[in-house]
Each structure stands twice: as structure tokens, then as C-alpha cells.
Amino acid sequence: MAKGGFVTSIARQSEDFPGWYNDVVRKAELADYSPVRGCMIIRPYGYAIWESMRDELDRHIKRTGHQNVYFPLFVPRSLLEKEAEHVEGFDPQVAWVTHAGGEELAEWLAIRPTSETLIAEVVKDWIQSYRDLPLLMNLWNNVVRWELRTRLFLRTSEFLWQEAHTFHASEQEAADEVATGLECYRATSEDWLAIPVIKGRKTENEKFPGAVYTHTVEAMMRDRKALQAGTSHMLGTNFAKVAGIDFLDRDNARKPPYGTSWGFSTRMVGATVMAHGDDSGLVLPPNVAPIQLVIVPIFRTEDDRSAVEQAIAGLEPALKKARRELPDGRVEEIRFHVDRREETPGFKFNDWELRGVPFRLEIGPRDVAAGQGVLVKRVDRSKESLPLDSLAGDLAGRLDAYQDELFQRAVGFREANTHRVDSLDELKALMEGEGGFVLAPWCGRTECEVAIAEETGATIRAIPFDAEDEKGVCIVDGRPSERRVVFARAY
RNA sequence: CGGGGCGUAGCGCAGCCUGGUAGCGCACUUGAAUGGGGUUCAAGAGGUCCCGCGUUCGAAUCGCGGCGCCCCGACCA
């Protein structure tokens, strides 16, 4: 290990982004590989980050009227295969249970890749009248999709997620629900993870198999690639009709209900790493950081040690009482930790920087004498000496400012790497160079979308909701375009 | 499924070409010193060299077969 410097044990982000990502995930102890190919073990520090975003999203989901439920892991083959487009989309990724109890099963069981078909089948008995609607359910579970190529958090054969499933009496109400789900994701990404997202609609080519349309939130990572942060699907009456669900409406007519589904997964832990991290490792937004302040005692002699410990002991009661009010009005304790390990201060500095802890307080003999401490901000390593007795009082404000700073920094990064182009050559040049988001006119035809993907590696991430009407010509075939769409290489 | 790489101590690797019975760094244990950006010295513990078969007096090393993992692409949250 090199001595006398900052974190050196991870690949440089600018030189080898995938290597950097892997190093950070492994060395910050977020996750490990498992004995089963493509599966991952989420370690305590990584799981704490997941729990934080999970809990935040869960609050949004409950606040908007949904209830948590559980449905089983197994889906009978016949059910999974009921919706034609859905089967076609998922078939290559499904893992099957073919044997149980020492015998081959008469009907294979799919390990759920998602639960639409199973839920539609079950709820047909629950939905008899318009009075049973809307039915607003959410599941926190694991699903399995046998991916050909996996990456920790971003794409694993098994992953944890939330899948909401709702049924409505009218198409309009279902459309509103699709928007509600997407807004839960925007809020969790932007206000909790400090990751700015673009809300938009997926193209026909990119939508969820079996959906009428799919809405998405797309984020930019620090390698300028896009990552889909969450999707919300209008299922129309597709799944309801195949399952044979109908209800008696106010007009005394039997109708199939309109469905929606929406999901958000552990890949967002990876997004948090890739949206904020730097060459020294993780940079965590205070809202999700398992530890928001780490205190590193520094001493030489036993006398120094006890003096420093005394200063820390004097500080701890105030820190334990310190509270931070979050945007939704909830009040949280401030999460701090005193690192009393038998390691050198330099080791601890690097260790906590790798783990992305927002603030570090160094307290040594010099500080004790002056009644102060040195507060170091992870994101820019700026240092500030401040009186120890004032820290607990203004820590909440500092965390708020830090959270905001990360979000603004990410917005600035995205803006700086978003380009408007009007030709395929320009798009290609950008994708071969530094990458980024590209706003370009597109005629709406799948042929052109596919041609661009083949030529440049970029796909249409979203047709943004806030795109203004702008007459133009498609960069592939020159047909008329109504507005610009977002192209990018994606995870 | 195509292309590449790899499998040797907990982790990262060297040794293999040119066969002689296993080594380095980190981590770990003990002791002492050190401590404001990954401390130093000393001592110590730790191994079915991925598996199988073959060649050989002798295989981590050579041959054949298998298994597994990682990276790049196609599929995808």
C-alpha cells in the first residue's frame, strides 16, 4: 500500500470506471459475490444503504394510499405464459423449478421474474364491483432474472425490489396512478439519494413487455452513461383480460379493470455509488449515509489519549441529543460514530473516505487545548476548525447543506454533459468520445431507433415530459420530428 | 452463445515456458516502539497449487478431458 496519501487501493474513476465501481463496491464492503454465479451477498454497510432508500420509498408508497402485501415466489408455468407479449419478453430470463419432493413436477414453477400474472390471477376473486376498486398493493420481495451478464447491484440474477400492482375502474385513474408511482421514484431519487432524474416515456421498443406504455426516471452516472432509476407501467386491461378479471361498474356493466405496475430495485444502491463517488471511493448523501459523522481521536501519549477521550465524552451527550428535521417533517437522530480502533489516523481517514461518510471530526491534543475540532467534508475535503460545543447544534444544518450540494453538483454535471445535436454524425462522434445525454430529433419509428443503437450504442432513454414542442427532422431518415428525445448509452 | 483472461494461504499475485515437492505482498497472531493522510521493526501461524485421467523415477509446472469465475459483446431493472 502506498503511504502518505489518499486512497490508492481502488482503480481511478476516470481511467477505468467499471474497475473503479467494482473496487468501491467490494472494498467499501457493500457487497460480495456468492457461490451462485450472478448472485450477490449484500453486506451490512450496503444493506444499510438499501434499507434507507427502501424505507424512504416505502413511506412515499404508503402516503399515497398503498398497502404492503406478499405474494409467493413461484408462478405456475401456465400462468406466466398467459400474456403473449409478456412471456416473449421474459421467457429467456426465467429460472424454473422442475423438480421437488424427489420427483419432476407435473407443472414447472417459474421463480417470479415479476408478479403481474400471479397477482392478476389471484385478485380476480377480490374484484367484483367498482366498490372494490381501486386496489392499491405493493410488494417488497426478491425476483430472479437469469441475466447473461451480471454486475454487483446493477444487474444480478436475483435482486431485491418493490413492485406495486394496482387496479382501477377507469383508464384515467390508472394513468394518474402511473404518474403517482413515477413521482415516488423521482422523490426518492432526487430528494433522498440526491440523484437528479429525467421523467419521460419509454419508446414502444423499450417499454415493459405486456404494458400499454411505460414511464421512466433516468439518471446520469459519473461516466456519463444513463441508468434507469425506476419504471411505472400502464398495463391497460391486458393482464386483467387474460386473467378474466371483471367488475360490475356503476353503470351496471361488467368491465375489465385497468392495471398499473411499477418497480424500483437494489440497482439504486449501484446508482448511488456511480452518481456521487470519486477516486477516493463512495460519496454518500447524508440522508442515506449509515454514518453521517465519524469522530477520529488522535493522540500520542496516554495523557493525550485521556484528554482526547474526555473531550469526546463531553461532546457525545449533545450529539446523541442532536436531531435533524427532514423535508417531510420527520425528525431523525444524527448518526455518528467514534472510531476507537487501534489504527493510525491516516488509515482511518482513508477508510471512512472510501465508505463515503459525509463529515469527519478530528480531535487531537492541539484541538483539545483550543477547545475545538477539525471538521472535514468528504465531498471536497475542505477543513474547518470549529468549537466543539457548537458542533452538535449546527450539524443538522451542515448535513442539509451537504445533501443539497450533492444534488446541485449532480445537476450541474448532467447539464454540462447534455448536448443538443441535429445529425447522426454528431451523435456518433459524441458517443465515441466522452458520451453523455444527447437531445436529438426523432421521427418516432422503431427502425430509426434501432439503427441509431446499432450505429452508436446509444438508445432512447426517454421521451421527456418537459420537452418542448420543436419541429425538426429525424436524424436518421429525415422524417418530421415533434420534439427532441434523450439518447444515451445505458446500464 | 461468440471473443479474451484467470483458477496457487483469507485477499492480491509470482512460480509454469525450461518438471526436482511452494514463495512474495497485504491481512492475521504476539511483543516493542509509533500515532495530525493507508506506521515501523522483530518473531509467528496459515496450502487437497480448481477437479479427474494420463506421461514421468518424480507434476503447481507437460498432455487430454471436465468444472468454475471475471472482463468485452448480444438480452435486460
Ranges A29-43, A100-114, A392-406: which has the least confidence = A29-43
- What pLDDT, on a 0 to 100 scale, did the predictor assign at position A83? 86
Residue whose grid cell is 458520451: A435
Look at A10 and A444; give whichever has higher pLDDT. Answer: A444
Instruction: Give, in Å, how far the C1' of B45 lies from the CA of A209.
Output: 57
Residue whose grid cell is 454535471: A413
Name the CA dihedral angle for A325, A326, A328, A330, rounded to a multiple of 10 degrees. Answer: -50
Instruction: Give, in Å, how far the C1' of B76 lies from the CA of A491.
Output: 9
Cβ burial of A318 (10 Å; 0-12, 13-18, 19+) is middle
Per-residue model confidence as pLDDT tens digits over A231-243? 999 999 999 999 9
Instruction: Give, in Å, how far the C1' of B12 lies from the CA of A16.
Output: 18
Instruction: Give, in Å, how far the C1' of B75 lies from the CA of A160.
Output: 20
Residue nearest to nucleotide B33 (CA to C1'): A300
Residue whose grid cell is 381501486: A134
Mean pLDDT of A294-308: 93
Residue nearest to nucleotide B68 (CA to C1'): A37
pTM for the model: 0.95
Nucleotide nearest to A305 (CA to C1'): B35
- Mean pLDDT, chain A, rounded, equals 93
Residue nearest to nucleotide B75 (CA to C1'): A148
- Residue A404 CB: number of other CB atoms within 10 A? 13
How many angstroms separate the CA atoms of A236 and A211, rounded?
Answer: 7
Instruction: Give, in Å, how far the C1' of B44 lies from the CA of A343.
Output: 21
pLDDT at A1 over 50: no
How many angstroms separate the CA atoms of A468 and A470, rounded?
Answer: 6
Residue nearest to nucleotide B77 (CA to C1'): A265
Please choose, from the candidates A274, A236, A253, A225, the residue with its C-alpha nearest in 3D space to the C-alpha of residue A22.
Answer: A274
Per-residue model confidence as pLDDT tens digits over A125-164? 999 999 999 999 999 999 999 888 888 899 888 999 999 9
Chain B positions under 7 Å from a protein CB?
1, 26-27, 34-40, 68-77
Instruction: Give, in Å, how far the C1' of B37 lies from the CA of A286.
Output: 23
Instruction: Give, in Å, how far the C1' of B28 lies from the CA of A345.
Output: 21
Put residue A168 in one of left, alpha, beta given phi > 0 → left and psi -120 to 50 → alpha: beta
How many angstroms separate the CA atoms of A45 and A29, rounded?
Answer: 6
Contact (Cβ atoms closer than 8 angstroms) between residue A228 and residue A126: no
- What pLDDT, on a 0 to 100 scale, did the predictor assign at position A194? 98
Between helix A424-432 and helix A446-456 the angle, nearest 10°, is: 40
Cis peptide before A134 (omega within 30 of 0): yes
Per-residue model confidence as pLDDT tens digits over A9-34? 787 888 778 878 888 888 898 988 77
Nucleotide nearest to A205 (CA to C1'): B76
Mean pLDDT of A203-219: 94
Mean pLDDT of A272-297: 95
Nucleotide nearest to A113 (CA to C1'): B77
- What pLDDT, on a 0 to 100 scale, did the predictor assign at position A3? 34
How many angstroms separate the CA atoms of A5 and A281, rounded?
Answer: 14
pLDDT at A409 over 80: yes
Nucleotide nearest to A21 (CA to C1'): B71
Nucleotide nearest to A9 (CA to C1'): B38
Nearest-5° Cα angle at A331, A325 to A334? 85
Mean pLDDT of A39-45: 88
- What pLDDT, on a 0 to 100 scale, did the predictor assign at position A40? 86
